[in-house]
Amino acid sequence: MARRVAPVWLMGLTNAVFGMYGGILAISVPQLLSARHVPESTIASMTAVMMSSGFWAFALSPVLDVRFSRRWYSAVTATAAASMLVVALLNLKNLVVVEIFLTAGFLFANLYQAALGGWLASITTKQEENKLSVWVNVANLGAGGGMALATGETVRNLPPLAAALLLGALLLLPIAVFPWMPAPGPDGRLARESFLRFFGEVASLLRRREVLIAVLLFMAPAATFSLTNFVGGLGADFHASSHVVGLVGGTGVLLGGLGGCCIFRLIDRLLPLRFLYLGIGTAGALFTLALIPLAYTPMTFGLALIGENVFQALALTASTAIAFETIGRNNPLSATTYCLMVSAFNVPIFYMLFVDGWGYARDGVAGCYAADAGASLVSSLVLGAILLWYRRRQDLKPGFDRLPATE
Q: Where are the domains of the chain?
A: 8-393
Q: Specify the pTM.
A: 0.76
What pLDDT score does 238 carry? Answer: 84
The percentage of the chain sitting over the pLDDT mark of 90, rounded to a whole number, equals: 26
The percentage of the chain sitting over the pLDDT mark of 70, rounded to a whole number, equals: 85
Per-residue pLDDT, averaged over 338-344, amounts to 81
Helix ranges, 51-94 (H):
53-56, 70-89
Per-residue pLDDT, averaged over 298-315, amounts to 88
What pLDDT score does 196 carry? Answer: 64
On whether the CB atoms of residues 112 and 18 are closer than 8 A, the answer is yes
On whether the CB atoms of residues 227 and 372 are closer than 8 A, the answer is yes
- pLDDT at 129 > cutoff 90: no
What pLDDT score does 407 carry? Answer: 37
What pLDDT score does 40 carry? Answer: 65
**In this predicted model, what pLDDT tens digit does every residue of 198-219 receive, in sequence order?**
666 666 666 767 667 778 888 8
What pLDDT score does 360 carry? Answer: 86
- pLDDT at 402 > cutoff 60: no
CA angle 88, 89, 91 (to 5 degrees): 65
| 188-225 as b/e: b if 16+ CB within 10 A | eeeeeebbebbeebbeebeeeebbebbbbbbbbbbbbb
- pLDDT at 381 > cutoff 50: yes
Q: Would you place residue 186 in the very low, low, confident or very high pLDDT band (cuts 50, 70, 90)? A: low
Q: How many residues would you count in the chain?
A: 407
Per-residue pLDDT, averaged over 138-157, amounts to 81
| Mean pLDDT computed over every residue of the chain | 81
Query: Tell me, which fold does domain 8-393 have in CATH?
Result: Growth Hormone; Chain: A; (1.20.1250)
Per-residue pLDDT, averaged over 4-31, amounts to 87
What pLDDT score does 405 carry? Answer: 38
- pLDDT at 326 > cutoff 80: no
- Considering only CA atoms, which of 387, 375, 331, 328 is closest in space to residue 351? 375
- pLDDT at 195 > cutoff 70: no
What pLDDT score does 191 carry? Answer: 54
Phi-psi region of 395 (alpha: psi -120 to 50; beta: other; left: phi over 0): alpha
Per-residue pLDDT, averaged over 97-118, amounts to 92
- pLDDT at 188 > cutoff 60: no
Per-residue pLDDT, averaged over 167-195, amounts to 77
Angstrom distances, CA of residue 93 to CA of 29, 34, 36, 149, 158 = 12, 11, 8, 21, 17
What pLDDT score does 52 carry? Answer: 82
Residue 213 CA, chain-centre distance (Å), reads 20
- pLDDT at 361 > cutoff 70: yes
Q: Would you place residue 283 in the very low, low, confident or very high pLDDT band (cuts 50, 70, 90)? A: very high
- pLDDT at 2 > cutoff 60: no
Per-residue pLDDT, averaged over 110-138, amounts to 85
The least confident of 80-89, 173-182, 253-262, 365-374 is 253-262
What pLDDT score does 249 carry? Answer: 67
What pLDDT score does 3 carry? Answer: 60
Per-residue pLDDT, averaged over 55-63, amounts to 77
